[in-house]
Amino acid sequence: MDENEILEALAEDFFQGWDVTPTGGGFLVATDWVLPNNERIEIHVRRVGEREDLFIVTDGGELINYLFAEGVDLTRDRDNRRILDRIAANRSVNVTDHQLVKGAKEEELAWAVRILLETVKEASFSLWRKFESKPGSPVH
């Protein structure tokens, strides 16, 4: 086996279980990566207006909704909001209107989806550890 065969096998395995569904203005990417509650992480890709070469990649508010359901209200919890903001800033992702958001040109789209997915995953598990350690926490 050479390096190209390994890369092809990795690429095939990495995307197995992913679904990409066209939507009116873009795509919904359902990954096989999961939040700590085992729900699949979905990434929304939308065109910017009528432009064919510019996209907004977002989690659709999934992370902040998940955290809120676990008892973390980022509109009131400044410490956890700072953690989220730092994780997002490290990957040049913005937190806007309760969503993680990244802009991308067409040629950057796959990279932007990956970066947003990594941000959701890191933030969900970083903050999950905080409520896992609270007495009486429902997270096990």
Confidence of residue 71 (pLDDT cuts 50, 70, 90): confident
Q: What is the pLDDT of residues 33-65, one digit of tens each?
A: 999 989 999 999 999 988 888 999 999 999 999
Flag whether 138 is in a domain: no
Flag whether 35 is in a domain: yes
Domain of 67? 3-132
Top mean-pLDDT range of 72-76, 116-120, 123-127 = 116-120
Task: Give the residue among 78, 67, 13 at the shortest CA–CA distance from 35.
Answer: 67
Instruction: Give pTM, 2 decimals.
Output: 0.84
Flag whether 140 is in a domain: no
Helix then strand then coil, % of the chain, to nearest 5:
45, 25, 30
Flag whether 103 is in a domain: yes
Flag whether 137 is in a domain: no
Flag whether 75 is in a domain: yes
Flag whether 99 is in a domain: yes
Q: Lowest-confidence range among 5-9, 11-15, 38-42, 81-85? A: 11-15
Flag whether 105 is in a domain: yes
What is the count of structural domains for the chain?
Answer: 1
